[in-house]
Structure 1
Amino acid sequence: MKKKANEYIKITVGMSLVAIGLYFFLMPKNLSVGGANGLAIVINHFIPNLSIGLLMIIINIFLFAIGFIFIGTNFGFKTIYASFGVSVLVLLFEKIFPMKKPLANDILIQLILGVIISAIGMGIVFNQNASTGGTDIIAKILNRFWGIDLGRGVLISDLSITLAAGFAYGLQIGLYSLLGVLLNGLVIDAAIESMNIRKQVVIVSNYSEVINDYIIKSLGKGATLYEAKGGFTGSDKEVLVTILSRKDFVLLKNLINSIDKNAFIIVHNVHEVIGEGFKDIENF
């Protein structure tokens, strides 16, 4: 229950960042970087009486209906919560904080800040095995019926929306929107990677038993011990290998420093860890 609540708290933070990036930075300059939100910005040009937040809700309802018909119920409640959550937040922002003009006159600043903020939010949502809906559903339909890769399907959908933005708002907006699509993908990947980075720690120490006990009992993580022989001394050694978060690694380093200043330590960054104590294998 606690784990589930933690997941939804993170999803709520993520979708809030997506909504902030969209409403305060991308929407005022009509920058459409794909997804249901980008399509809503384009449609708003032709139907200005409908707010973008309301259009996002309508588009998501339509896409989920199409998804249920063609690919079944494989969305998950977390994706439904995140996609409609973004739409509702944008609708609330429109009511509470009406934007009479952009925060900055420079369209590039608006684009970069909007994409970075919203892409970090998407990365947080994706990292909880959910998504913000939109073009993900179109990509799944393309994958199922035409065998197009999911990543390529998302790109096709988003590029189609940026072309529509260029048609609606002019070539300059279309090109900036295209830049936003490309930047969005890079920032999402970087955000997910940074959230999943762990430290693989290899330790050679005369106090391996004490260190192993600390890792298991105090840090709540596992470790593996290997028998080895020193190439220089020829003496038998124990090599301890463990994988920790950055915070836990600092605690372990402090312990080793206090008990064995001659310990030999190798540290690697690992970008994905699946198994007990880390990411569940079914979510990989």
Structure 2
Amino acid sequence: MRKLNIKKLLYDTIYLTFGCVITAFSVNYILKPNGLITSGITGLAIILERYININYSYIYYFATLIILFTTYLLMGKKEIMKIVFLSVLYPTVLLVMQNYEFKFVENDLLLASIYFSIFYGAGVGMILRKGFSFGGTDTIARILNKKIFPSINVSYIMLVLDGTVIIIAAFAFGRNIALYSVISQLIVTKVCDFIMFGVGTKLYKLEIISCKHEEISRYIMYELGRGVTLFNIKGGYTNKDKILIESICSPNQSIMIQRLIKKIDPAAFVKILPIVSVWGKGNRFIDINIED
């Protein structure tokens, strides 16, 4: 068992390092040389570099340390373990790769924006697929949701944070650069989804039986912004009354739910079914009123 754990640790370390290298490659050799900008902590660091003349990698390092410390104080030790490894690894890879000068794309902002998005989305997708996080705006959004805005979904808070960075970029680098960053953000999302889930369905129905059904339901509704339906059922083998949670969500959200269940109730029963389409009101649902 110990040998397997060491082997898995080594594999995960190599895998995550490779994901960081791809992500850092896109930033150091495509984004920065072409004067482009992105959202999140990386984008904010590049903007600050313009005004305080400090290497953006050091600013990123400092920002992630602040986020780590804040997460530990406000969210606890469990939450910090999700981001501590990459909060150190990724900025280190950024700094090391800066020692080698290279430009992947030159003198074509549209082409640079597209190639940056492909590499960046691939790297981020690899990281998220393993259940890790860079500890950026997603972590800040969870802190704000828990401590200040409990009634606002985490995804909406993230949208506001990333949108704010892009608006600031418009003032710092010009409107066109900010518009390129919007295009990049859309492509990054699509590439990230492809790396994590392939070209299959974009919606899943989750059926969950768990003794922690209240905590899971609250997480799905108030942190992910998805609807939940509860059914009273009876186990055929145990003959005990149980609660079945049913929810329809995106692939990324299904992985987030999986992480939560893995932490609070590893004995839970979870069924995941691909959905072709959904009519109704909701993210990625089809409005029945506009269907022919």
The TM-score, its normalising length taken from structure 2, stands at 0.63
Q: Give yes or no for contact 1:70–1:141 (8 Å, CA) kept in 2.
A: yes
Return the alpha-carbon distance in structure 1 between the equivalents of residues 133 and 113 of structure 2: 22
Q: Give yes or no for contact 2:125–2:193 (8 Å, CA) kept in 1.
A: yes
Query: Structure 2: which 5+ residue stretches go unaligned?
Result: 202-250, 264-269, 271-292
Counterpart residue identity of residue 119, structure 1: G
1:80 aligns to 2:84 (yes or no): yes
Q: Which aligned pairs between 1:60-79 and structure 2 lie closer than 5 A?
A: 60-77=64-81, 79=83
User: Could you tell me the percent identity over the aligned residues?
Assistant: 26
Q: Which aligned pairs between 1:173-184 and structure 2 lie closer than 5 A?
A: 173-184=177-188
Q: Deviations along 1:97-142, whole A, 9 cap, x unmatched?
A: 246x773110111111111111111111111110111112111112
Other-structure match for 1:91: 95
Q: Which aligned pairs between 1:19-58 and structure 2 lie closer than 5 A?
A: 19-48=24-53, 50-58=54-62
Q: Give yes or no for contact 1:51–1:91 (8 Å, CA) kept in 2.
A: no
Equivalent of 1:126 in 125, 128, 153: 128
Deviation at 1:182, TM superposition (A): 2.2
Equivalent of 1:163 in 138, 148, 167: 167
Other-structure match for 2:282: none
The number of equivalent residue pairs is 204
Return the alpha-carbon distance in structure 2 between the equivalents of residues 27 and 85 of structure 1: 20
Q: Give yes or no for contact 2:65–2:87 (8 Å, CA) kept in 1.
A: no
Q: Give yes or no for contact 1:15–1:132 (8 Å, CA) kept in 2.
A: no
Label 1:116 to 1:168 Cα distance change in 2 as closer, same or farther (>3 A). same
Other-structure match for 1:210: none
Other-structure match for 1:234: none
Q: Give yes or no for contact 1:116–1:187 (8 Å, CA) kept in 2.
A: yes
Return the alpha-carbon distance in structure 1 between the equivalents of residues 132 and 80 of structure 2: 8
The TM-score, its normalising length taken from structure 1, stands at 0.64
Deviation at 1:78, TM superposition (A): 5.3
Q: Which aligned pairs between 1:265-280 and structure 2 lie closer than 5 A?
A: none
Return the alpha-carbon distance in structure 2 between the equivalents of residues 120 and 8 of structure 1: 17
Deviation at 1:281, TM superposition (A): 5.9
Return the alpha-carbon distance in structure 2 between the equivalents of residues 83 and 51 of structure 1: 17
Other-structure match for 2:20: 15
Label 1:6 to 1:150 Cα distance change in 2 as closer, same or farther (>3 A). farther
Q: Deviations along 1:47-93, whole A, 9 cap, x unmatched?
A: 12x11111110111122222222222333545222232221111122
Counterpart residue identity of residue 107, structure 1: L
Deviation at 1:31, TM superposition (A): 2.4
Return the alpha-carbon distance in structure 2 between the equivalents of residues 76 and 129 of structure 1: 13
Other-structure match for 1:248: none
Q: Which aligned pairs between 1:119-158 and structure 2 lie closer than 5 A?
A: 119-144=121-146, 145-147=148-150, 148-158=152-162
1:282 aligns to 2:285 (yes or no): no
Q: Give yes or no for contact 1:11–1:125 (8 Å, CA) kept in 2.
A: yes
Deviating above 4 A after TM superposition, structure 1's stretches of 4 or more consecutive aligned residues are none
Query: Structure 1: which 5+ residue stretches go unaligned?
Result: 198-270
Other-structure match for 2:110: 108
Counterpart residue identity of residue 14, structure 1: G
Q: Deviations along 1:206-234, whole A, 9 cap, x unmatched?
A: xxxxxxxxxxxxxxxxxxxxxxxxxxxxx
Q: Select the structure of larger CA radius of gyration.
A: 1
Label 1:75 to 1:20 Cα distance change in 2 as closer, same or farther (>3 A). farther
Q: Give yes or no for contact 1:158–1:181 (8 Å, CA) kept in 2.
A: no
